[in-house]
Structure 1
Amino acid sequence: MDRSKKNLKDIFDIRGDSTLATSEKEQLYTAIMKDVRRKRVFRLLWRSSTVAAVLLLGLTFLFIHRADENHIPDIQEIARRSREAFVENNTIQIASLDIAQKSLALKSLYAKEVPEDTKLSIQAKGDDSHYSTIYVPYGKRQEVLLPDGSTVWLNAGSYLTFNSNMVQDDREVYLNGEGFFNIKHTGSRFTARTAKADIMVLGTSFNTSSYEDDAIFSIELLSGKVELNSPQKKFKSITMKPGERIAVNSQNNTVHISRNTAGDDMLWTKKQLALKNVKMRDLLKRIERIYNVTINADEEVYNMDIGYSGRLNVGVDIATSLSSIYELRNYAIILKEKEVSIIQKE
């Protein structure tokens, strides 16, 4: 007997003359085969569950991927993506964005400069995947002819995004900033979307201010009729009539309606600011946008307890414009490059 057999006998305490009966051999064989089959079934179930998990993950990824491909972006999302194309300088720029059919994948994204003092005309295209965004930097303003024949004046620091196929479908734009719109009546609805309200019109002219970093949204209707809605349900739908002005404060969720207005809000297109009970801090912020400067003043200037009313000429240099404000008569206006300092006279 070799050593390995002897070791096995020692381990299982098998005597030299021990043998298994035929029935015992059959029972032992049956037990071994059951154990083998059980292990094979376990391995098969394990492999099957692993394959199923991999398939499930793959199908989940495929579903998500295809769902993403079928995602139709809204115009606010397109506006946000398009702003990535702009460079920081003092030129009016236009970015064109082509999206794949039902996908936000970028085909091309580029920006080009627009010559000053020219009416920017955007040609209509028959492809729904083409969007344009116009950027007017601080210190500038721009008149734009939209593909449907409507015109809009964009104030300083404004972005306007729209689909270039505005002739066949319902017309839609997204505004971050201030614009004076003169909408051409084509029979299809025109919707001007902003971060704080949606404006739905047919054919009309109105001025709206909706800078995303401002608390106040305002709209003044000059002609026609518009319907004002809140995407966040901050206020109920409002149908406006000519001569009405609505101001919405997003901080305290208040809505103020003025009637029999004179179209003062759009005077900025003629380089005039019509102001009514405007706080000094807000006034200086508007002047910064118009002239593309940074204004530095003591807190006592910003916190002046006044509400400025009247017209301010912004067609002159900034020092002349600020000096015309009565409350600043005892202050010196010092301009150095793009910084303006308001310092009290000695």
Structure 2
Amino acid sequence: MYKKLTFPIFLEFIEIKTKITWFFPMITALLWALYSNHPINGINTLLFIIASFLVDMSTTAVNNVVDYKTALDEDYKFSHNLIGKYQLDANLLTKIIFLILSLASLLSLILLFRTDWLLFPFGAACFIIAIFYTYGPIPISRFPLGEVFSGLTEGFGIFFLTLYIQDPSLYAQSFWNPNQIAILIQPQGVITAILLSIPFVALTANIMLANNICDLEQDINNRRFTLVYYLGRDLSLKLFQVIAVVPWLMLILYPLFGYLHYITLIGLLGFPIALKSMTTFVSKPEKQTTFIESIKSYVLFALVYLLILVN
């Protein structure tokens, strides 16, 4: 007998607390556009916010459903996975996911017609990676690619697309006539988007890495061979420390390359706090107690980044 799907359980099911990796790159990109005096398209922004949130929501939901259905570890399936833990109807949840994805697809099509057809390959790449992260015969999450793909899609993908939908001519644009199709790429705009998104790529990848470090034994029991499985826990923790420094290093480089004012360096005052958080996790990596430190580090840097752009 299945139990009722309540709204609080649904929010837990889609892991609403993890949506910071969707929210911060988007809002930072918007503030960067304002900071650099680029135009903001309100309707496109609203469509993108809703569509990208729905995709991010459905990705988490697909992850939980697939993990439940493919789980080999009974303790994980009925004590840790939310579907088993709350005795939810997996088929009902699957229908809800398809409904969410359908709405996201409709909004994305509207946005496509309002911008440029190049949005389709850009957005489709992120969409496909998001869905096949846990779905399909060879889910990305079950191989040592999760950190890379999650970092690129949520760190760079959302950041770039947020900028792109404001004014495609600043990044890449297509031109059509009966005889030819031309694509004009603006290297400066694309390179700028790549460089400015690096902190979010690193921070998102580190959250995934921290999660996989904590879940190593559980993942092995469920035949998920992540990057941590191949590197080992000790080397993975060293990699975690290296990646954690990358965002703060970029904070030094941005003024040197002329992207931000030198007052940006004041933001480095937050680095000791990030260092302490990183040390706390590395000293005792546990899902229940110290995993939250990887999220705290993300939020800390993101807030520093936002404050810099606001000022």
TM over 0.5, shorter chain? no
Greater C-alpha Rg: 1
Higher relative contact order (CA 8 A, sep 6+): 2
Give 1 or 2: higher strand fraction.
1
Give 1 or 2: higher helix fraction.
2
TM-score, normalization: structure 1?
0.24
